Amino acid sequence: MVDLSIFFCPNQKCKDYGIRGHGNITTSTRYGKANTHLLRCKTCNQRFSENRNTIFMHSNYSKETIQTIILAIAECNSIRGTARIFNLDKDGVNRVVLKAGEHCKKVLENLINDLCLNECQLDELWSFVKKRKLFP
């Protein structure tokens, strides 16, 4: 069962727009091969997918497959290697990785803004300078 408290109405004209856990979201029906929930706002009757604005939207792969692809890439596997390991199309794996990257970029743009950094950690630079022979 899907947890409806994490969803909100995506209709900007709705009075419950952006409010989570308000009780206005209900399941409408299911659709697609993955049997995805179609949700509905009781206030404005706007319908939307549970996968809206996620990397799972408009994907031919299941959520589990997408998660395993991302985990494999995060462990420094190549696109081709990941495709061979899971017996997938390399272009499909590449699309998933690009889509995940774009999604991460959007999330980080919203989370990391107006940072005033006063210090910068230079451990890697220091180890490079320290190990380098400056004098012959």
List, for residues 19-62, the tens digit of each pLDDT value.
888 889 999 888 887 788 899 999 999 999 988 878 888 888 88
List, for residues 90-120, the tens digit of each pLDDT value.
999 999 999 999 988 888 887 777 777 666 6
Task: Identify the domain containing residue 98 by its residue range.
Answer: 53-112
In a domain, 119, yes or no: no
Quick check: 82 pLDDT over 60?
yes
- 48/59 same-domain check: no
- 48/98 same-domain check: no
**Residue 87 has what pLDDT?**
95
- 1/45 same-domain check: yes
- Give CA separation, 104 vs 19, 28, 97, 108, 109, in Å: 23, 29, 10, 6, 8
- 107/73 same-domain check: yes
- 41/84 same-domain check: no
Contact 29, 47 (CB under 8 A): no
In a domain, 123, yes or no: no
Instruction: Give the whole-angstrom CA distance, residue 41 versus residue 17.
Output: 9
Over residues 66-81, mean pLDDT? 93
- 47/65 same-domain check: no
- 47/63 same-domain check: no
| Residue that has been written with the tokens 């272009």 in this structure | 91
**Residue 97 has what pLDDT?**
94
Quick check: 86 pLDDT over 90?
yes
